[in-house]
Structure 1
Amino acid sequence: MSALLEFAIFPTDKGDSVSQYVSQVIEMIRESGVDYQLTAMGTLIETDTLQEALNIVNEAYAILEPHSNRVYSTMTVDIQKNKHNRLKSKVTAIENKIGKVNL
């Protein structure tokens, strides 16, 4: 099974730049060993189970909660049985089709 989870999480009461807080979350994700992709607007992770993905989100909250009175998060999940490596394969599938489509 593949659980793709895209999420953004950050404290809302720390001013315009929250990168010092978000970087702690990314460090935790990196150390967890799950596949991930950092983007300008959030982070994508791929795990074998939904519970494992949700555990990452819970750990992210646990990192931010002591530093903030308000933590904001968004989350999108795509779960598919009998699939793996979709973090890369979904992008590759689109890239392989670019230029091949006749509209």
Structure 2
Amino acid sequence: MVLLELSVTPLGKGESVSAYVAQCVEVIQASGLPYELHAMGTIVEGELAEALLVMQRCIERVAQSSDRVTCAAKLDYRAGTAGRIHSKVASVQQKLSQ
């Protein structure tokens, strides 16, 4: 399983890109994979091939209305472990409350 954090950005479309972020979130929702949207990107959890396909589809979706698109991605692979999208945060929160 992987956690994939991605941020897809169209170039030359002004300061606000929330409409393009919404397009990517629609793609991610359609995939059925668990995800968390945050201020600087979106984290998706799934098998490696699934997560990479979602990233590709997000880029392709934004590219429909922009001639140039950048994508920043960070990937965390861990064999056989699901549910880390929430458990990693819960682990830190538990340590903070001790």
TM-score by length of 1: 0.91
CA RMSD, aligned part only? 0.9
Distance in 2 (alpha carbons) for counterparts of 1:51 and 1:13: 30
Displacement of 1:98 in angstroms is 0.5
Alignment match, 2:96: 98
Ranges of 4+ aligned residues in structure 1 off by more than 2 Å: none
* CA offsets 1:6-58 (integer angstroms, 9 cap, x no match): 010010111011111110110111121100000000000000x2111100000
Where 1:74 maps in the other structure, the secondary structure is: strand
Q: Which sections of structure 1, spanning at least 5 residues, go unmatched?
A: none
Aligned residue number for residue 8 of structure 1:
7
Amino acid aligned to 2:67: N
Alignment partner of 1:17 is 2:44: no
Q: Percent identity?
A: 37
| Letter of the structure 2 residue corresponding to residue 9 of structure 1 | V
Equivalent position amino acid for 2:7 in 1 = A
Letter in 2 for 1:5: L
Aligned residues: 98
- The superposition leaves residues 32-87 of structure 1 with CA deviations (integer Å, 9 ceiling, x where unpaired) of 1100000000000000x211110000000110112111101100000001211000
TM score, norm. by length of structure 2: 0.95
CA distance in 1 between partners of 2:42 and 2:4 (Å): 8
Q: Give the 3-state SS of the residue equivalent to 1:67 in structure 2.
A: coil
Q: Which residue of 2 aligns with 1:83?
A: 81
Partner residue of 2:59? 61
Aligned to 1:43: 42
